[in-house]
């Protein structure tokens, strides 16, 4: 993998991580602390939604975020594996022509 390709891969990885961390923060901190009074007006499974999000919902969202990260990284790895394979193929063709 070239240096430029590695830097691009790392930037893409950081964008994914930052996006998922923002979602995690909004759900856990926002729904569990900041917006709890507004969410408590809604009932979910017999509990106030603010309470439920602080106790159970944020954990479920965290598990979903782990699955999303896994899927997004699989796609990113496949994309850069294809780029790397094309780069290696071009390099081997160049070496064969010498």
Give how many domains the chain has, as a whole number.
1
* pLDDT (0 to 100) of residue 95: 59
89 vs 14, more confident: 14
Q: Which of 11, 32, 87, 65 is nearest to 40 (CA)?
A: 32
Q: Where are the alpha helices (DSSP H) in the chain?
A: 3-25, 36-39, 49-52, 58-97
pLDDT number for residue 64: 96
CA separation, residue 49 to residues 17, 26, 30, 40, 88 (Å): 27, 15, 12, 5, 53
Interval 7-54: pLDDT, tens? 999 999 999 999 999 999 988 888 878 888 888 898 988 888 888 888
> Which range marks the domain in which residue 87 is found?
3-97
Nearest to 36 by CA among 45, 26, 49, 46: 49
């Amino acid at each position: 993998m070239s240096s430029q390709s590695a830097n691009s891969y790392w930037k893409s990885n950081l964008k994914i991580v930052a996006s998922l961390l923002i979602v995690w923060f909004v759900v856990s901190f926002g729904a569990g602390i900041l917006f709890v009074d507004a969410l408590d007006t809604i009932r979910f499974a017999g509990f106030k939604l603010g309470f439920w999000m602080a106790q159970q919902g944020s954990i479920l969202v965290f598990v979903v975020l782990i699955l999303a990260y896994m899927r997004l990284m699989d796609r990113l790895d496949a994309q850069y594996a294809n780029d790397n394979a094309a780069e290696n193929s071009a390099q081997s063709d160049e070496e064969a022509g010498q």
